[in-house]
Structure 1
Amino acid sequence: MSWNEEWAAAATCQKSRPDELFVRGAEQHKAKVVCAACPVRAECLAEALDNRIEWGVWGGMTERERRAVLRKRPNVTSWRALLAAAKEAHLEAVETASA
């Protein structure tokens, strides 16, 4: 499974109502559960980080969590590139381990 350019169509949350994903407080934990098994979680997170999306749960992270990531790594110019490389490395490691 490589990087999905058309990630939104494959997102698990397509079956959810938007008001379930754009919530506050403890309700965000329920929204993050939707993301847990999503096949395009990294793509979604990259979209939110690259575009500094401020509201909702994206890629399994709340806006507060995304702001913390952005503060920790202010010099990242492309989260898409970083997360795509990490996803590819992970998939290669999984394939190697199962061979």
Structure 2
Amino acid sequence: MADNSRLPGAFSHLWDWQLRGLCREADNALFFHPLGERGAAQVAREEAAKAVCADCPVRLECRRHALQTREPYGVWGGLTEDDRQRLLADRSHIVA
């Protein structure tokens, strides 16, 4: 049997913010586009998802997570995939 006594404890404190997200009460399809979605349908869905995010108490934590992990799909923290790509591209020009 494995000795788990030396393993670090749970890191649930890093993810607890997700339990407070307003998206948990919304249809998951609102935040992730269906295959082939384009044009007005995509804009309308993304705007509806962003409206949920706008009032969310953990919007900033969600946004930070999506940017740090380079989340490839969906609306996270009020940012679409394209929004995140633009922000990350802008940051790549900053020299520390």
Fold shared per TM-score above 0.5: yes
| Residue of 40, 64, 67 corresponding to 1:49 | 67
| Residue of 55, 76, 93 corresponding to 1:58 | 76
Aligned positions of 1:74-93 closer than 5 A? 74=92
Partner Cα separation in structure 2 for residue 17 and residue 48 of structure 1: 19
Q: Which runs of 5+ in 2 are unaligned?
A: 1-12
% of aligned pairs identical? 37
Runs of 4+ in 1 over 4 A off after TM superposition: none
Instruction: Report the equivalent of 1:11.
Output: 21
The answer on 1:33 being equivalent to 2:33 is no
TM-score of the two chains, using structure 2 as the length reference: 0.69
Task: Specify the SS of the correspondent of 1:34.
Answer: helix
The RMSD of aligned alpha carbons is: 1.8
Give the counterpart letter for 1:11 in structure 2: G
Partner Cα separation in structure 1 for residue 62 and residue 26 of structure 2: 15
Which is bigger in relative contact order (C-alpha 8 A, separation at least 6)?
1
Q: After TM superposition, give the deviation of residue 74 of structure 1 in Å.
A: 2.1
Q: Comparing 18-27 with 39-48, which one deviates more in the overlay?
A: 18-27
Q: Comparing 14-23 with 63-72, which one deviates more in the overlay?
A: 14-23
Q: Which runs of 5+ in 1 are unaligned?
A: 77-99
Give the counterpart letter for 1:50 in structure 2: Q
Partner Cα separation in structure 1 for residue 55 and residue 71 of structure 2: 22
Give the counterpart letter for 1:31 in structure 2: A
